[in-house]
């Protein structure tokens, strides 16, 4: 079965600094990969997705992610974070469009310091 | 506005008292799903539905029931809640996958406490 691992439980970044959140997937074929953001007290919002094609994908709010098959990774990046980026970030994957099951990582909580 | 609406947002109940969390979507989506979110565990799928009258178990279905009698609604039923079902619950919906598949649209969540 497919799975995703987010090795960082909590990351603290200074406002204006760059950000990289790690995600590793486990699946033999090319999975479908997503990054979601959850602001405090809110539901999950899709930041970006990768299905195929260009391995560098652009998302909303200035985020991007790069799919690297050789490393089984789909890391999320942002060149300069804003205080409003403080949230929890989830990587997710699905490989079976038959049941529409998204398998989520355990999440990375991002704290922004002034 | 396209959205998934869950009610209630917050619920405190006692062990064994049946409850229903409602979920409704206005996007005519075929797929709907329930997840629970627990610290350190991420989101885990409880049940999903591919269309009206078609439902199946996810990863953690024990203690839950669902029904899909109408396309827009997908209620989650806890017939005899227990404290280990204290969690944050999310309903989500998605269209048939295709070129423009964007995964699920999530509701705002229901925080359930069972005492």
* pLDDT for residue B98 is more than 70: no
Share of chain B above pLDDT 70, in %: 95
Q: Is the pLDDT of residue B102 over 80?
A: no
- Round to whole Å and give the CA distance between A93 and B47: 17
Whether residue B99 has pLDDT greater than 70? no
The verdict on a CB contact (< 8 Å) between A43 and B101 is no
The shortest CB-CB distance from A43 to any of B42, B44, B106 is to B106
In angstroms, the CA A46 to CA B102 distance is 8
| Coarse DSSP helix, strand, coil percentages of chain A, rounded to the nearest 5 percent | 10, 50, 40
Average pLDDT, chain B: 92
Interface with A, mutate which of B1, B36, B43 (most A CBs under 10 A)? B43
In this predicted structure, what is the pLDDT of residue A51? 82
Token output for B95: 């269209």
Q: Which two tokens stand for residue A108?
A: 């990375």
The pLDDT value given to residue A98: 52
Q: Which residues of A touch B41 (CB under 8 A)?
A: 106
B 41-80 → A contacts, CB under 8 A: 41-45, 48, 50, 56, 58
- Predicted local distance difference test score (pLDDT) of residue A17: 97
Q: Residue A61: helix, strand or coil by DSSP?
A: helix
In tens, the pLDDT along B38-55 reads 988 989 999 999 889 999
- Pick the residue from chain A with its C-alpha nearest to B57: A99
pLDDT band at B100 (very low <50, low <70, confident <90, very high): low
Provide, rounded to the nearest whole percent, the portion of chain B with pLDDT above 90.
77
Per-residue pLDDT of chain A (114 residues; tens, 9 = 90+): 778 999 999 999 999 999 999 999 987 677 789 999 999 888 899 999 998 888 899 999 999 999 999 999 999 999 999 999 999 999 998 866 555 678 899 999 999 999
Q: List chain A residues with CB under 8 Å of B40.
A: 9, 106
């Amino acid at each position: 079965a497919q799975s995703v691992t987010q090795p960082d439980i909590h990351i603290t970044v200074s406002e204006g600094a760059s950000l990289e959140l790690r995600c590793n997937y486990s699946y033999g074929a090319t999975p479908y990969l997503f990054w979601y953001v959850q602001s405090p007290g809110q539901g999950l919002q899709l930041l970006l997705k990768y299905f195929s094609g260009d391995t560098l994908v652009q998302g909303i709010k200035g985020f991007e992610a790069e799919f690297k098959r050789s490393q089984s990774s789909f890391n999320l990046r942002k060149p300069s974070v804003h205080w409003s980026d403080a949230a929890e970030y989830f990587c997710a994957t699905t490989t079976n469009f038959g049941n529409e099951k998204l398998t989520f990582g355990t999440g990375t909580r991002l704290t922004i310091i002034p | 506005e396209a959205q998934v609406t869950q009610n209630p947002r917050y619920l405190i109940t006692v062990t064994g008292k049946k409850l229903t969390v409602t979920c409704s979507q206005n996007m005519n989506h075929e797929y709907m799903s329930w997840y629970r979110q627990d610290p350190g565990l991420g989101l885990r799928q409880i049940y999903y539905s591919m269309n009206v009258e078609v439902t199946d178990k996810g990863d953690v279905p024990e203690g839950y029931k669902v029904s899909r009698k109408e396309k827009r609604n997908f209620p989650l039923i806890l017939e005899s809640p227990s404290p280990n079902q204290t969690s944050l619950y999310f309903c989500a919906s998605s269209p048939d996958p295709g070129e423009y598949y964007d995964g699920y649209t999530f509701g705002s969540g229901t925080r359930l406490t069972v005492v």
